[in-house]
Every structure is written in C-alpha cells, then in structure tokens.
Chain A
C-alpha cells in the first residue's frame, strides 16, 4: 500500500548506497525511494544527483519522463483503470467515466480525504478478461459497474 513516510536523509542515503556498483542504477534507486517515501521529493533529486555525479536537471529529467514517478505522494490507495483498446472494446471507458464522475475526480486526482487516487493505465496484460484494473498492485478484471463500485467503496474506507 502506498504510504508517505516523512523524508529522512539518512534512510535515503542508505537506499542509494544499496545500489553502489550497480550499472545504470538511477531507475532502481528512484523506485526504492518512491517505495519508501511515496514520491520523489525535491530533496531526493538533489541527493541522488550528488551520489551519482549527475546534475539535478538530469535527475529531474528522468523523474519527469516516466509516468510512474510522482513528485507528490498519492492517496492511501491507488486504483489504476485500464484505458487501452482491449478494455475499450468491453466498455471500459464508460465504466471509468462513471467512477470518476461519482467521485468528482479527473484522471490522476485524489479524493479530498486522501484515501483514493484514480489513475489511467494503458494495459495491464489482462486483456482476455477486460475491462480490468489494479488496486494497490492487485489485479482485478471482468469488471462490471457493480464490482467496480464495490472496489471503490472498499478502498474509500
């Protein structure tokens, strides 16, 4: 479950050091930092740049290039709804729109109580059981308006 631990320079340094000697270690480091702190805060960009002898611009460029890296923490739960073609063919777009409208959100938004972030994803590889989604890394498929509503309600608790 995504959590937003308070920034801790010592912990961040030990995460970076775990990857010492690894070739092309920037992405694995960023993944681990985000797993620990819920996002890649500006302090992390500076720290990683120093450790890898890169400019802050280079690290920022990588963080901002990849959809997965966040500059702000997500809500307590993250629901990724697939918007790709196989799910479209099974009315996934209408299903997604209903959820967003009911929650009063747009793609990428978090509910005001901070419990749920709804994001778009483009294919989870569950295309023979469309429409599909992922809640906190757990796959769910053959979604119906009812089953998706149940998932959202459960995550909103």
Chain B
C-alpha cells in the first residue's frame, strides 16, 4: 500500500528546512522499501509548526511538526510507523485550535491540495465560482460582488464591486485586470501563500473579473522578492492554458510581470506606471484607473486577496459571505501574525475579533516569553498599538477611529525590549528609502524627519524636535499623493503618542549634556 505524505513547498516552510525533510522522507522510505507518494502542498499557515509533515491515514491526515531531517527515521520506526505517539505528532490539523477557530474561505484549499494539480483544484470546489458567474451573466456577477460587501484587501478598503461596475460601465476597445501581488508590507505573506499554495484560485478570480467587466487581458504584478511564487504562478498559467482555461478559447489571458524591488509599486498608480515600463512614480487621481488605467484603458486593479476571494463569493453566494463580519467590514480577513509571536501564522476569520484576542489568545503572546509591549498593524505604514488599545475590534472603521489601519492584515508583535523611538525613526527612514520622489513632503520630509528623530534619540531638545516631527507629519499626511507619504505619520505619531517615555528617556537627556 502506498502511503501519501504531504510536505509544504511554501517558501517559509522551505526556509526552515522543508526540502531537507522531504528528501529525508524519500530516502528513508527507499531504504525501508516502503511505497510513498509525496505531495508538495502549500502551507496551512501554522508557521511555528513548519516544516509540518502530514500523513494520510484511515482516520484522515495526521500532522507532525516542527520536523527536521533528523526526526524522519523516528517517523518510520516502531511497530506502527507514523504513530500518534510520536513526540512531534500534533494530531489532525483540523483539530489544532489555531486552525479549528478559523473561518477559511479564501484559504479553504491552501495547504491541503497539490498547488499545481488541476484535478485537485476541481475536486476541492475549483471553477464553481467561474461557472456560476457565466450562468449569472456579467452584470449580475458584478452585482453579486457588490452585495457581498467585499472591500479592497490591499488596505484602502474600497468596495470591490463598485470598482468593477465603474470599469464595466466604461466603454473601451480594451480593458485590463491587474492583480496587485506586490505584497511589500512587513508582517504580511497572505498573497505569497495563495500564489504558492493555490495559484488556480487567483487565475479563477481574475477570469471572473475579466468576464464581469469585459476585459480579455490580465497581469499579475509579483514582487521580485517572491521567486517561489513567481515560479508556481508561471507554471499554473501554462497548465491552465493547456487545458483551455486561459487563452483564446477562454477569451482571457494572464501574464506575470515581476517587480524590481520598489515598495512604492504596491501603490496602484505606481504599479501601473511600472507595468508600462516606466519609473514607478505615483499618478495623481483623477483620472481613476477604472476610467484611465493601464495604457490609458479602463483597468480593474485589485489586491490579490480581493481577487482570490471572488470565486468563493460567486460559488456560495454573496449572502454567505456578507453574513460574516461586523459593521461595514463584511466577510473574512486573513490576519497574518508575525514577528515576535509564539504562534505565528495565517488566521482567516470574520472581522470583529479584538486585537487582544488576536495577539494574546490566538498568537499566544511573544516568542521570547517577555511581555507584549507594542503591536504594529497594517505594515510599515500602520500604527503601533499599546496594550491599552487591545480592545480595538479588527474592522476598517474601528482602526481608523483609533488613528490606525487594518491594511493588508499584518500584525507584527514586539516585546518589551523594543525602543519605540527607533521604530519611529525607522518608519521615516523607510519612507526616505522607498519614496518615489514625486511629492516634496515625502521625498525631502522623510529625510529631514529621520535627521530630527536622530536628534531626539540623542537627547537634543526633545520637546522642540517632537513638535517639529508633529508638524512634519501633518504636512506629510495632507501633502502626499499616495499612502507612502500620507500614512508614514501613523507609525511615527502612534509611537510618540502611546510610548512617550521612549522619546524622553533620562539616559538620552544625559547624553545631550
């Protein structure tokens, strides 16, 4: 009898040794003369358990992790190989509380299927969304997306259905679907996991978008820091073309384009410039990309997670999705726990969990075992939250009300060794490194801000310099075209507001004398 063994090929699992574990499993099986079929899956997103190996048994899959190559012989040893008594056995993955508590819609297949098997994709509910869209017709498909309440998962939170309707209603000889997979926010990896673990889902989502608005060409703009995702997506497109799911017969093509290390290209208008072969400088809006986007044509530009959520919305109906969530934040969000956290991983759940539940209950506190001091939500442009604000529910409006943002769902945890003045300085420095140079406050203000933070850290007239920073942040916020300059004040001002003691430390004052 052949034993099926599943080992992730996700980049994060590979980064902690999944390839070595997979090779050791095949070697050991060969040595013992056992028949093994190895499936390289995406990751389930339980990264503290990676590399997590799953073995198919009569009672479903059971998981072992975190595995090393050295642990592999033990997996096969004893009277019963792959025994639940193995010290690294974590039982059925579905029963692990971190996974059991989730509502997996977008990530329903990720970590379970062979990412490059069209048979697996179809067997696990793939293409149902596209089929239903075709049966509904284009206008009703747009309506369904609108009714689901889906909002842009890149961070801006703009209703996806309204964006689609604008493009559908704009007459043109050509229209484009652009997937923003330039996932540059620190603490986020949801796009990467989908591309590596369920690439046909994105292809289906883009095909639905193309059908709904009348576009025949799609681009996926993937950052160059994701070589694994680029490889898997390229292969998935070739496989889908071979089956006639993309190409002339399907009246929809997808092409991968690779970024070149510019964070600002995650901003939609910079991304469009970059796709056109130019410097990734932001464009002023209007015109909206929905009217004049890529090469001046009406363009749907959506975050990867927005597009990857559309198939489930179409397959199961808008109501099924809209029933989840709170307030104007409908459906689920893939929350990505990262940094100094005990249980780091992807947690897809309906909007509404409190930040405290996410960090303390689900994340289990810090990896270092020290107290949680600050949490940055929403990437490098997101605010730092202290424990006092842990009652904030995960919801677009609730975070905005507290001068923060949900962003792309990244949650980076810091313990009490963090120096918040350094974090504020980094936010300004990062803005200086990545500024496209178009807006003066961002191009020059970020550099002057970094210098001013250096003075504060050195204890040089902290009060006067903090007033300068507050003034500069005001200018950045209102004088920048895009979120890079416009949102850099969030991490800076939240650090100053919630952790003032780090900006006027006695040792710093002493150093200035």
A124 and B225 within 8 A (CB): yes
B367 and A90 within 8 A (CB): yes
* Residues of B contacting A67 in the complex (Cβ-Cβ under 8 angstroms): 260-262
A68 and B192 within 8 A (CB): no
* Residues of B contacting A123 in the complex (Cβ-Cβ under 8 angstroms): 184-188, 225
* Residues of B contacting A62 in the complex (Cβ-Cβ under 8 angstroms): 277-279
Chain B 301-343 per-residue mask, 1 if CB under 8 angstroms from chain A, else 0: 0000000000000000000000000000000000011111100
Give the complex CA separation of A67 and B50 in angstroms. Answer: 31
* Residues of B contacting A61 in the complex (Cβ-Cβ under 8 angstroms): 279
Chain B 396-426 per-residue mask, 1 if CB under 8 angstroms from chain A, else 0: 0000000000000010111100100001001
> Given A27-B257, A90-B340, A122-B430, A128 and B189 touching (CB < 8 A)?
yes
> Given A89-B412, A89-B415, A90-B367, A128 and B260 touching (CB < 8 A)?
no
B187 and A85 within 8 A (CB): yes
B263 and A122 within 8 A (CB): yes
Give the complex CA separation of A90 and B368 in angstroms. Answer: 8
* Residues of A contacting B186 in the complex (Cβ-Cβ under 8 angstroms): 84-87, 122-123, 127
Name the segment of B12-20, B151-159, B206-214 touching the other chain.
B12-20
Interface residues on A, range: 35 or more
A134 and B225 within 8 A (CB): yes
Give the complex CA separation of A126 and B487 in angstroms. Answer: 24
Chain B nearest CB: distance from A64 CB in Å? Answer: 9
Q: Does A43 contact B (CB under 8 A)?
A: no
* Residues of A contacting B16 in the complex (Cβ-Cβ under 8 angstroms): 129, 141-142
Contact check: which of B257, B344, B380 meets A128 at CB < 8 Å? Answer: B344
Q: Give residues of chain B (45-75) contacting chain A, Cβ–Cβ below 8 Å.
A: 47-48, 50
Extra A-B contacts (9), CB below 8 Å, given A27-B260, A27-B277? A61-B279, A65-B280, A85-B186, A89-B340, A89-B415, A121-B261, A122-B186, A132-B15, A141-B16
Closest 9 CB pairs of A and B: A128-B344, A26-B277, A84-B186, A66-B260, A67-B261, A127-B338, A89-B339, A128-B47, A141-B15
The interface of chain B, by Cβ under 8 A from chain A, is 11-12, 14-16, 47-48, 50, 183-189, 191-192, 224-228, 257-263, 274-281, 295, 336-341, 344-346, 367, 376, 380, 410, 412-415, 418, 423, 426, 430, 433-434, 436
